[in-house]
Structure 1
Amino acid sequence: MRVIAHRFPTSGPSDVSGLAGLLDAGELRAQDILAVIGKTEGNGGVNDFTRELAMRALGDLLTPQLGCAPEDIEDRVVLSFSGGTEGVVSPHLLVLARTGEALAAPGEKKRLAVATGYTRAFEPWEVGYRPMIEETARVVRELMQQLGIDDPADVHLVQIKGAIPTVDEEQRTEAEAEGRPLRCDMVGSRAASALGVALALDEAPADRIGDRAVCHDWSLYSTRASVSAKPGLPRSEITLFANSAWWEGDLIIEHGVMRDIIDLDAIRGVLARLGLEAPGQLAPEQTERLVGIFAKSDADPRNAIRGRRHTMWTDADISDMRYSRCVVSALLAGLTGETAVYVSTRAEHHGPLGGGPVAIIARVP
């Protein structure tokens, strides 16, 4: 079994011509596609409809070949999009597929392995609380088992589209009357899902990861979660990336964690572990080895970076999300020479407060 990956630039959110060309040429089968992850040029907020447009275009392309109804496409392929391509970020799609047969025995070298899965549907009062944390952890562990992963250290990225089920006014009133305020929003979904990854990967003590920790105990976090959340989504969709001896191919993945959004050394460390070192920007032949670049970013809520005040949270003209995405994307592009980077905000319990995880997929030389 091996992962094959194709990255396509897009001329707009609905541009799926690159993928369509591969499918038409018979170089890729729709049945083998596991996930499509991409950046679209919207605002990255709740009203960013470029993500929906991209998903609709992919559904129109893939459903005839998969033989399923458009509304069932996300049961077959994980479609995960992040809006916001500020600065140098180039809109793109990363298509991940699986091909080949399972190995009869583990190989000498570990190679990229990818698995996708879904949590059960959540009730609105479960989002942001222990049930969501535990269910996320359960699915992450299940995906590790599918890939033959025994050591959590072999997991380098857990990409999640977090659930935000629809809440009616009666449910909201009942929850508040019971003294359990609803966290059924983007913040609660991102935070609890990230802590679920931390629980599954033994990144924090299990007895400390509970309801009270969510968005309060910032010492608890995952260095490998990357969660966006979608209003109206009843369940979470999870894509796990690891290096496994049971998989072959020419792709590997590594990760690191930035202590803040100007942490160049963390990015250089990830590149070094991939065998990509340079005194400045990577050379063109090194850049060509890069397949996927992922990061989480956040404007530090303490309003300072390394002791200096920042104004990302107090600027009434530009969202803090757009600031932090732009900064981290520029660092990644400047070091790697690649502008097709996937940077998502915000980062509750994703790395230390004000920082965030970084993961990079590359081809082996």
Structure 2
Amino acid sequence: MRIEAHRFPTSGPSDVSGLSDLLESGGLRAQDILAVIGKTEGNGGVNDFTRELAVRALGDLLAPRLDCAPAEIEDRVVLSFSGGTEGVTCPHLLVLARTGEPLTAPHPDKRLAVATGYTRPFKPWEVGYRPMIEETARVVRELMHELHLDDPADVHLVQIKGAIPNFDETQRESADAEGRPLRCDMSWSRAASALGVALALDEAPADRIGDRAVCRDWSLYSSRASVSSKPGLGRSEITLFANSTWWDGDLVIEHGVMRDIVDIDAIRGVLARLGLEAPGQLAPEQTERLVGIFAKSDADPRNAIRGRRHTMWTDADISDMRYSRCVVSALLAGLTGETAVYVSTRAEHHGPLGGGPVAIIARAS
């Protein structure tokens, strides 16, 4: 069993021509696709419809090949899109497929392994609370078991589309009356999901990860979560990336944690663990080995970076999300020579406050 990864630059949110050509040529079977992860040129906010355009286009492309309705595609393939391609970022799709037969014995070298899964549907009053944390952790552990992982250290990225089920004002008022305010929004979904990853991977003490810690105790975080949340999504969709001796192929993944959004040493560390070192930018032949580059970014809410004041939160003209995505994307592109990078904001409990995880998939040397 092996993971294949195919990256396609796009001319717009609904451009699936690269994947369509590969499917038509027989270079890939739709039945083997596990997930499609991409960047679209929207604003990254609640009203970013470029993500829906991408999902609809993929549904129309894949549904006939999977013998299902377009609306059912997301039950078969995880489609995860992040809006916002500020600066040098190239809009793109990364298609992940599983091919071949299971190995009968482990290999000496670990290779990229990917598994996808879904939480149960959440009630609106569970989002941002312990039930969401525990259910996310349960699915992450199941996916680790599926990939034959005994050591949480082998997990390098957990990509999640976090649930935000629909609710009405009556439900909000009822929750407030019971002393459990409704947290059913993007920030709380991201935060609880990230803490669920931290719980599953033993990144924080289990007895400290509770309702009161969410969006309050910033000392608790995951170094491997990357969560975007979607209004109207009833359950969370999870894609887990790891290295495993039970998988074949030529791909590997490594991760690190940026302590702030100008932390180039953290990025260099990830590249070094992949055997990609250079005094400046990677050489073209090194860049060619890169398959996927992921990071979470945040404008530090303390309004300073390394003791210097920043204005990302107080600039009324440009969103803080656009600022932080632009900065981190530029760092990644400048160091790697690759502009098809996936940078997502915001980063509640994703790495230390003001920082965030970074993960890179590359072809083994």
Same topology, TM > 0.5: yes
Residue of structure 2 equivalent to 1:313: 313
Give CA deviations for 1:247-279 in whole Å, capped at 9, x if unaligned: 010000000000000000000000000000000
Residue of structure 2 equivalent to 1:360: 360
Residue of structure 1 equivalent to 2:286: 286
1:82 aligns with 2:82: yes
Letter in 1 for 2:249: G
1:159 aligns with 2:128: no
- For the residues of structure 2 that align with 1:312 and 1:181, how far apart are their CA atoms? 29
Letter in 2 for 1:9: P
Letter in 1 for 2:270: V
- For the residues of structure 2 that align with 1:292 and 1:24, how far apart are their CA atoms? 24
- For the residues of structure 1 that align with 2:309 and 2:364, how far apart are their CA atoms? 41
Structure 2 spans left out of the alignment, 5+ residues:
none
Residue of structure 2 equivalent to 1:259: 259
- For the residues of structure 2 that align with 1:89 and 1:72, how far apart are their CA atoms? 30
- For the residues of structure 2 that align with 1:72 and 1:120, how far apart are their CA atoms? 17
Residue of structure 1 equivalent to 2:302: 302
Letter in 1 for 2:89: V
Residue of structure 1 equivalent to 2:139: 139
- For the residues of structure 2 that align with 1:298 and 1:151, how far apart are their CA atoms? 29
Letter in 2 for 1:297: S
Residue of structure 1 equivalent to 2:104: 104
Give CA deviations for 1:156-215 in whole Å, capped at 9, x if unaligned: 000000000001111111000001111100001000000000000000000000000000
Deviation at 1:70, TM superposition (A): 1.3
Residue of structure 2 equivalent to 1:188: 188
Q: Secondary structure at the match of 2:122?
A: coil
- For the residues of structure 2 that align with 1:71 and 1:340, how far apart are their CA atoms? 28
Taking the TM superposition and a 5 Å limit, the aligned residue runs for 1:110-121 are 110-121=110-121
- For the residues of structure 1 that align with 2:282 and 2:305, how far apart are their CA atoms? 27
Q: Secondary structure at the match of 1:361?
A: strand
Residue of structure 1 equivalent to 2:216: 216
- Farther-moved stretch of structure 1 (348-357 vs 68-77): 68-77
Deviation at 1:67, TM superposition (A): 0.4
Q: Could you tell me the TM-score, scaled by structure 2's length?
A: 1.00
- For the residues of structure 2 that align with 1:162 and 1:348, how far apart are their CA atoms? 13
- For the residues of structure 2 that align with 1:86 and 1:180, how far apart are their CA atoms? 38
Residue of structure 2 equivalent to 1:129: 129
CA RMSD of aligned residues (A): 0.3
Residue of structure 1 equivalent to 2:150: 150
- For the residues of structure 1 that align with 2:256 and 2:271, how far apart are their CA atoms? 9
Give CA deviations for 1:127-177 in whole Å, capped at 9, x if unaligned: 000000000000000000000001000000000000000011111110000
Q: Secondary structure at the match of 1:353?
A: coil
Q: Secondary structure at the match of 1:44?
A: coil
Structure 1 spans left out of the alignment, 5+ residues:
none
Deviation at 1:337, TM superposition (A): 0.1
Taking the TM superposition and a 5 Å limit, the aligned residue runs for 1:55-94 are 55-94=55-94
The count of corresponding residues between Structure 1 and Structure 2 is 365
Q: Secondary structure at the match of 1:11?
A: coil
Letter in 1 for 2:101: E
1:332 aligns with 2:332: yes
Letter in 1 for 2:297: S
Identity across matched positions, percent: 88
Deviation at 1:126, TM superposition (A): 0.2
Runs of 4+ in 1 over 6 A off after TM superposition: none
- For the residues of structure 2 that align with 1:155 and 1:216, how far apart are their CA atoms? 26
Residue of structure 2 equivalent to 1:7: 7
Give CA deviations for 1:208-265 in whole Å, capped at 9, x if unaligned: 0000000000000000000000000000000000000000100000000000000000
- For the residues of structure 2 that align with 1:91 and 1:169, how far apart are their CA atoms? 37
Q: Secondary structure at the match of 1:107?
A: coil
- For the residues of structure 1 that align with 2:69 and 2:150, how far apart are their CA atoms? 37
Q: Secondary structure at the match of 2:248?
A: coil
1:37 aligns with 2:37: yes
- For the residues of structure 2 that align with 1:197 and 1:227, how far apart are their CA atoms? 10
Q: Could you tell me the TM-score, scaled by structure 1's length?
A: 1.00
Q: Secondary structure at the match of 1:42?
A: coil
Deviation at 1:104, TM superposition (A): 0.4
Residue of structure 2 equivalent to 1:47: 47
